[in-house]
Structure formats: structure tokens, C-alpha cells
Chains A and B, each alone.
Chain A
Amino acid sequence: MTDKLAFVEAEFVNNPEPRCPCILLLDTSGSMRGTAITALNQGVESLVEELNSDPLASDRIELAVITFGGEVQVAQDFVTPAAFLSPQFKADGNTPMGRAVIAGCQLLEERKHAYQAAGISYFRPWMFLITDGEPTDYNTNTWHKAVELTRIGEAAKSFVFYGVAVNDANQNKLNELCPAYRPAERLRGLNFGELFSWLSCSLRSVSLVNPGISRPTLPPVNTWALLEA
């Protein structure tokens, strides 16, 4: 325990830049098998690559990955992109989406405590959920707790929640997690590359630049989202 604390501190001493934490909640259930999981793996890899090519963003953005396919796993705890070891996700099992959201909130809270203890400031964290199915823990206590956590988190501005629906995902159930003013977007085909490129741009603009106005505007989602007519 003490060892871990000392390690985290060293990282913040060497790089005290403010952090922009982003947690990816990725659906790796059985239905993602085949081209979908391959495209997702490539997408995450390209995200890390893009972030790494920007020297200031790579000091500030921290990524974590939680997968939910059969069980909920922390595939990658928060690290700067340079230390991100691209995990190869495998598709298997059911879709415990609610449990994944709860785990994400916990991981995020822990990270925020580490920032506060080290005196490192941080931008509003992002929680980014991608799913192609339907939560197998729907209408359980776990699900209700997850919905409650995202609702409180959004209201208290302690994170920004994005939902992305792939293929046959149940968008209505996903929307229960999303705030009403930012409903889930539907991915066009398997355009993970464009999706993660958009995410990289957005994270960078949140943490770095400001073209003219004080609140950065996010790039349009039309490169990857299926816009309803």
C-alpha cells in the first residue's frame, strides 16, 4: 500500500501538469466477437497513438479502461498515454453494464483522491461507455445504483458521461445512464477509428486550447455518429 502511494507521488512530482482523466467503459461481451472487437482494439490503439503525438496532451490526459464481457475487469488503471499498454480485448460472456459503471465511478473516485493528495489539479473527468448489446443486469439493484451514480455525477459536475451505441445496442436502456441533455449517440457502422479520433480531439481541446471563447467547443460528431434525420 505504502509502496503504491510513493510510486504515484513520484509520477506527480516529475510531471505536475493538471490531469484530464478519461475512463473507457468497453463492452467486450460475446456479441462483439469478430470484426467488431478487432475494430475496437484498433480504435483504442489509434487513440493512444494520437494522444502520444501531442506532447502537452500526453502529459495531461490519463486513460483507464474497464471492460465488461462476462465479468467486469480493470483492463488498464489510469496512466498517461505513454505508459498505456494497448490491451488486446477479447469478446466473451454477457453484458454486466451496470456493474461496469459502478466500477468506473469507484476507479475515478480513487484517482481523484490521488490527485487531491498530491496537490494536482484536474479538469472534469470523462466517462465514455461503448456497447453493442443490452445490459444483462438491467432492472437489478446494481443497475438502479449505476443509473443513480451517473445522474448524481452529472448533476454534481464530477464527470461527463458519454454513451455510444454500436450495431443493435438497446439505445433506450443506455439512455437511462445518459443525462437527458446528452443522449447516447449511435455509431455509424464500425467507425471506431473516427470515434476515437473525435475523442482525442475533444480531450485535447478540453485540456489545452481555446479558440476565442472561454469554454471550448467540441468538434462535431458527424464524422462517426449516425445522425437521425
Chain B
Amino acid sequence: MLATVYDESGRAFRVGHQFAHGGQGAIFQLEKRDDLCIKLYNQLPDAQQYQKLRLLQNRASNLASIAALPVSLAYSEEERTTFVGVFLPFVHGRAIFELYSARTRLEYFPRVDFRFLINTAYNLANAFEKLHQTGIIIGDVNEQNIRILPDASICLLDCDSFQITDCERTYPPNVGTPLWTPPELQGMDLTGVFRTTNHDYFGLAQLIFLLLFVGRHPFAGIPRNGLPLLPEDAISAYAFAFAPECLGLPLQPPPGCPPLTALPTEIQHGFLRAFREGSAQPGARPSATEWKTWLQQLQRSLTVCSQYSNHVFWRGVPTCPWCGVISETGVNLFPTASNHSSVPSQTNLSEKTFLTRLQNLAVHQFHIHLAPTFAVTPAPLPARPTGFWSVLQRCLAPSRWRYRWLSHALSHERHAYTKARTAVSQALREQQILITAYHEEFRLARVALESALQELRQSASDRHELETFFLQQSLPVYPSVEPELPSSTLHRLQDAITCCEARVQFAQENCAEQLQVSQATTAQATRQRDQAHANVQNLLKHLRNSSPTG
């Protein structure tokens, strides 16, 4: 084994421990470097693979944030004659399967809720979009070559299997993973098979599904006819287990996970388009851009459960799907982090504290922000028309010439002005909608609390009845040493208030964040409107100057 390797500029690195290995080579740490590692090949790549590595290396700086592309080729001696491998950025974080399975998520990402999974899905779609834009196809999408960082950003590994095209030829991935291979490629020898974006979109949809359904595979379900399907056979048969029953597919959804309808219609349809029969047609599966839009919309329409502050879900469903899983299986997929409410603290259970906390639950006053006035300078006048006839007209009928010169620009600017004005009012309306939605969410949170308070009053009155009963029967009042309310009831109230606080705070943060975006849009639209307005005024002024009557 090599002890020292050299990069393209002749710098020496000492090879450390091996920490991963793949079909083509092994990956080693570098001593005293935590930002780089090295992949040493078992068999030296041929000329084609070498060329491919070069191409990938050229894209490295542009795509550094989403893919661990080779940063330099590696040589066994300082003179750089024997190529042995590539230097790769060392990517921290965890593999994506350690995020989407609840068991490992609780270990490595203990505090995250559903929003984190949506963010990860969005960042994945974004990475696919970016790579496709630069002409790269991922090819071997799988659960082991995607790393997730603590801020939900993602980085793709094993990039030497990417499909990349230069002006002369396309370098195919040559590899695949059965569980991740789209139906149309299942069972094929993938050597030399060219992949398309539609193939990649199968993998993307699977990844997003696994994230949003906490580790459930789209093709794993209960066989309707009792005949089990091996994972690859289910994919080949387009047996999407969460499809509506009327489609007559061989699998039905597994127990203990939310139904497909727990997500917005666009996302449901997106999964059907990605997995159903006919999805092999080029362009049939939803693109990364489409997923980005839907996931962003989902991110904006979430709410928090009234029972558990860590249960975040789409507010289009009437009840919390994560609570549904609890009542079905007893498993809490998003348990509240220990400093929150599900483990009630034993201290400070006085009614006075509750009253203070209840009073603090006030609605935040959000306002619509109009953009400031912008100091704009009008755009320069359009270029003067040239040519013989124009010069002639300018001499003979200057005002008419001027009118013809400027009127086209004027009508264009007027149109732009009308459009920008509409955009401004639309942006303002969006701000209004966000604020209204926040108020509605706040009201609902308070209503949820109201039911807890009602229950509390009920239990207090029950207790009173019980006490009266005991007194009538001349029995000792039990339990006589308890505080005025049983502590379990106090705990319930405490939980309800904590959840309400969390929900209100969530809604407020969400609203503030989205208002900020909306306000930026308003400002941008306003600037465009003001600019168009100034242009129109300027053109009108010039027209008037030339002919006061025209």
C-alpha cells in the first residue's frame, strides 16, 4: 500500500486509514487533513475513465456544495507519472438512510421534525436540478451515496459513476443498484446503458418518498392476493403500494405509516406519475423543478399537532397523521425532545404560572409592508432611427418623426408599468393572505387549548361531585393531601399549554419568514413599477416638448 501520494501541483500527502471501499477502489483518510480524502483504484482506470475523471474535476468548483467531485488527480511520485487515484473532498454528515429511518434518525438527528425532512427533500431536488442543468446525470442514485449535513443540506458521493457528456462522447455510469433501478431498466445489464433525466427522476421520487414517509419504501406493502413480491419484482411490476385501491395494483399500503392523502394533491399526483405504469415514457416523471415547487408549497402549509409539539404536518388534513401512527402501533415517530412537553416536568405546577403563560399567548401583530419609494433615473431614450427616409422626415416633419421615434417605446413602457402595478398589488395581497393564515392558525391553536381547559373544568367538577359523594357517605375524602387539582390533570394542562405555545410560536416564525420573502417580492415589484413609471413620464415629457399639441 502507498504511504505517500502527490497531487497535481506536486504537494505530498500521507495516506491514513481506509474507511470505505467500493467496486473500483478504496477510500482512505489523509493524515492531518479533515477536508480531503483519497480514492485509490484497484485497477487503474483506462483512458476513457481518465478522461471522464478530468471532465468531472473541471466541474468540481461549480458543484462543490452538492457533489463530492474529484478536486485533483493523485500520483504515486512527485514527478506525476503514475496515476493512482483521485483526491476527493471529505464529506461529514450521515448517509440519507440514517435520516429517513426513525430508529437511526433519533440517534443522529434527535431534534429534527418533519420540516427537516421536507428541507432535505427540497435540497435533493435542487441538487438534481443543478446537476441536470450542467449536463450531468447521476445514474446510480442510491441510499448509500447521499450524505446529509446537520443543516439539511446534501452532498452526493461516488461521483465517478455520474454520466457526463463532452463534445465528443457520453460516458455512461455502468452501475446501478437493484432497489433503485427504475422498472424499465430492471434486470438489465447496465454496462454501457445511457441514462436519462427521467431515469434519475425515478430515484429522486423514491428518495423524496422515503423522506416524507419516514423510511417506507414506495414498493413495499401488504400483498393483496397473499403472494409476496421480492423488492425488485415489485418495482418491475410498477406495484406502488400507496396507489389508490381503484388502480388494482398488487400491494396495499403497510400499517403504521401515514396514508398518501396526508400530503397535498400535487405531491400525491407527483408520486403516482413517478411510479405508475407509463412513467417510463420520456418526460413522464415529475422533474426536480416540479418537486421544488411542491415541496416549497408544503413547507408553507404546515401546522403543529395539539398533543405533541414535535408533530409537524400538512394542515390540509383534519388530524395529526403522526398521532394516527401512535394510536395504531404505539410508536411515536417524532417524539418530543426531552426538554419539551411529553415528559412533564415535576416542578412549577401552580395555577398562577399557568395563568401567566396563558396571558402571554397573545397574537403577534404583523403588518403589511409597503416598499419604500425608490430613487430611479429614467432609462435612456431609444436609439434614433437612422436611414434616408427617417432623416428626410426629421427635416420635413420633426414632431411626427419624434412621435414615431418615441411612441413604440412609450406603449412598451406603459405595458410594463401596468404589469408591474399588478405585481405590486399581488405581492401586497400575498402578504395579507399570510397574515390572515397566521391569525387563523393562532385561533385554531387557542381553540385546541380551549378543549383542554374544558376537560380540566370537567375533571374539577367531577372531583367536586366525588367529594360530595364521599361526604354524604361519611367516608374520608380521598385523596385528602392532594393539591386542589389532581397532578395528572395539572400535567395535562401544562402539556396543552406547552403545545399551544409551540404551535403559536411555530406559526409566528413561519409567518415572519414567509412575510420576509413576500416583502422582498413587494420591494422588487415596486422598484420595477417606479422604474416603468419614470420611463413613461420621461417619454411623455419628450413627446410634449416636441409638440405641445401632440
Determine whether the beta carbon of B181 is less than 8 Å from that of A214. Answer: yes
Whole-angstrom distance between the alpha carbons of A83 and B40 in the complex? 35
Determine whether the beta carbon of A214 is less than 8 Å from that of B253. Answer: no
User: Min CB distance, A80 to chain B, in Å?
Assistant: 9
User: Min CB distance, B420 to chain A, in Å?
Assistant: 51
Whole-angstrom distance between the alpha carbons of A211 and B268 in the complex? 33
Determine whether the beta carbon of A15 is less than 8 Å from that of B102. Answer: yes
Q: Judge whether B98 is part of the interface by a CB distance below 8 angstroms.
A: yes
Residue-wise interface mask of A (96-128) relative to B, using a CB-CB cutoff of 8 A (1 in contact, 0 not): 000000000000000010011111111110000
Chain A contacts for B229, CB-based, 8 A: 121
Residue-wise interface mask of A (1-36) relative to B, using a CB-CB cutoff of 8 A (1 in contact, 0 not): 000001001101111111000000000000000000
Determine whether the beta carbon of A56 is less than 8 Å from that of B222. Answer: no
Determine whether the beta carbon of A123 is less than 8 Å from that of B230. Answer: yes
Chain B contacts for A9, CB-based, 8 A: 255-256, 329-331
Determine whether the beta carbon of B255 is less than 8 Å from that of A118. Answer: yes
Whole-angstrom distance between the alpha carbons of A196 and B255 in the complex? 35
Determine whether the beta carbon of B190 is less than 8 Å from that of A18. Answer: no
**Known contacts A9-B256, A116-B223; is-contact A214 B188 (Cβ 8 Å):** yes
- B333's nearest neighbour on chain A, judged by CB, is A13
Determine whether the beta carbon of A56 is less than 8 Å from that of B143. Answer: yes
Q: Judge whether B325 is part of the interface by a CB distance below 8 angstroms.
A: yes
Chain B contacts for A116, CB-based, 8 A: 222-223, 226, 228
Of B98, B186, B219, the contact of A214 (CB 8 Å cutoff): B186
Chain A contacts for B226, CB-based, 8 A: 116
**Known contacts A9-B329, A10-B331; is-contact A15 B101 (Cβ 8 Å):** yes
Determine whether the beta carbon of A56 is less than 8 Å from that of B191. Answer: no
Whole-angstrom distance between the alpha carbons of A15 and B101 in the complex? 6
Determine whether the beta carbon of A112 is less than 8 Å from that of B222. Answer: no
- B177's nearest neighbour on chain A, judged by CB, is A210
**Known contacts A120-B254, A214-B189; is-contact A17 B222 (Cβ 8 Å):** no
- B186's nearest neighbour on chain A, judged by CB, is A214
Of B190, B230, B331, the contact of A121 (CB 8 Å cutoff): B230
Determine whether the beta carbon of A213 is less than 8 Å from that of B102. Answer: no
Chain B contacts for A220, CB-based, 8 A: none
Determine whether the beta carbon of B97 is less than 8 Å from that of A17. Answer: yes
Chain A contacts for B103, CB-based, 8 A: 14-15, 59
Chain B contacts for A212, CB-based, 8 A: 23, 174-175, 189-191
Residue-wise interface mask of B (186-226) relative to A, using a CB-CB cutoff of 8 A (1 in contact, 0 not): 11111100000000000000000000001111011111001
**Known contacts A10-B330, A55-B104, A121-B220; is-contact A209 B231 (Cβ 8 Å):** no
The count of chain A contact residues (Cβ–Cβ below 8 Å) is: 31
Whole-angstrom distance between the alpha carbons of A203 and B482 in the complex? 59
Determine whether the beta carbon of A13 is less than 8 Å from that of B256. Answer: yes
Chain A contacts for B144, CB-based, 8 A: 56, 208-209
Q: Total contacts A to B, CB within 8 angstroms?
A: 123
Whole-angstrom distance between the alpha carbons of A6 and B326 in the complex? 12
**Known contacts A13-B257, A18-B217; is-contact A214 B187 (Cβ 8 Å):** yes
Whole-angstrom distance between the alpha carbons of A68 and B190 in the complex? 44
Chain B contacts for A123, CB-based, 8 A: 230-231
- A214's nearest neighbour on chain B, judged by CB, is B187
Chain A contacts for B252, CB-based, 8 A: 119
Chain A contacts for B178, CB-based, 8 A: 210, 214
Determine whether the beta carbon of A16 is less than 8 Å from that of B220. Answer: yes
Q: Judge whether B95 is part of the interface by a CB distance below 8 angstroms.
A: yes
Q: Judge whether B85 is part of the interface by a CB distance below 8 angstroms.
A: no
- B174's nearest neighbour on chain A, judged by CB, is A212
Main secondary structure on B side of the interface with A: loop
Residue-wise interface mask of B (95-119) relative to A, using a CB-CB cutoff of 8 A (1 in contact, 0 not): 1011001111000000000000000
Whole-angstrom distance between the alpha carbons of A188 and B214 in the complex? 45
Whole-angstrom distance between the alpha carbons of A8 and B66 in the complex? 38
Q: Judge whether B179 is part of the interface by a CB distance below 8 angstroms.
A: yes
Chain B contacts for A6, CB-based, 8 A: 329-330
Chain B contacts for A119, CB-based, 8 A: 220-222, 241, 251-256
Q: Judge whether B176 is part of the interface by a CB distance below 8 angstroms.
A: yes
User: Min CB distance, B172 to chain A, in Å?
Assistant: 11
Whole-angstrom distance between the alpha carbons of A14 and B334 in the complex? 10
Tell me the chain A residues, 182-221 only, with Cβ under 8 Å from chain B. Answer: 208-214
User: Min CB distance, A70 to chain B, in Å?
Assistant: 35
Determine whether the beta carbon of A209 is less than 8 Å from that of B177. Answer: yes
Determine whether the beta carbon of A210 is less than 8 Å from that of B176. Answer: yes
Of A16, A56, A117, the contact of B217 (CB 8 Å cutoff): A16
Determine whether the beta carbon of A121 is less than 8 Å from that of B217. Answer: yes
Whole-angstrom distance between the alpha carbons of A17 and B223 in the complex? 17
Whole-angstrom distance between the alpha carbons of A212 and B254 in the complex? 32
Determine whether the beta carbon of A55 is less than 8 Å from that of B176. Answer: no
Q: Judge whether B86 is part of the interface by a CB distance below 8 angstroms.
A: no
Residue-wise interface mask of B (498-536) relative to A, using a CB-CB cutoff of 8 A (1 in contact, 0 not): 000000000000000000000000000000000000000
Chain A contacts for B325, CB-based, 8 A: 13
Determine whether the beta carbon of A14 is less than 8 Å from that of B101. Answer: yes
Chain B contacts for A120, CB-based, 8 A: 220, 254
User: Min CB distance, B103 to chain A, in Å?
Assistant: 4
- A54's nearest neighbour on chain B, judged by CB, is B144
**Known contacts A119-B253, A119-B255, A124-B230; is-contact A16 B216 (Cβ 8 Å):** yes
Whole-angstrom distance between the alpha carbons of A17 and B219 in the complex? 11
Of B23, B231, B331, the contact of A211 (CB 8 Å cutoff): B23
User: Min CB distance, B292 to chain A, in Å?
Assistant: 26
Among A16, A120, A208, chain B packs the most CB atoms within 10 A around the CB of A16
Q: Judge whether B234 is part of the interface by a CB distance below 8 angstroms.
A: yes
Chain A contacts for B330, CB-based, 8 A: 6, 9-10
Whole-angstrom distance between the alpha carbons of A55 and B143 in the complex? 11
- B98's nearest neighbour on chain A, judged by CB, is A55
Chain A contacts for B329, CB-based, 8 A: 6, 9-10, 13
- B185's nearest neighbour on chain A, judged by CB, is A214
- B210's nearest neighbour on chain A, judged by CB, is A16
Determine whether the beta carbon of B174 is less than 8 Å from that of A18. Answer: no
Chain A contacts for B241, CB-based, 8 A: 119
Chain B contacts for A12, CB-based, 8 A: 254, 256
- A210's nearest neighbour on chain B, judged by CB, is B177
8 additional contacts (CB under 8 A) given A116-B223, A120-B220: A10-B330, A13-B331, A17-B97, A18-B179, A56-B95, A121-B234, A212-B190, A214-B187
Nearest first, the 9 closest Cβ-Cβ pairs linking A and B are A119-B254, A211-B23, A121-B220, A13-B256, A14-B103, A13-B331, A15-B103, A16-B215, A119-B221
CB pairs A–B below 8 angstroms (28 shown):
A13-B256, A13-B257, A13-B325, A13-B331, A15-B103, A16-B214, A16-B215, A16-B216, A16-B257, A18-B231, A55-B95, A55-B104, A59-B101, A115-B228, A116-B228, A118-B256, A119-B256, A121-B230, A123-B231, A210-B175, A211-B23, A211-B175, A212-B190, A212-B191, A213-B189, A213-B190, A214-B188, A214-B190
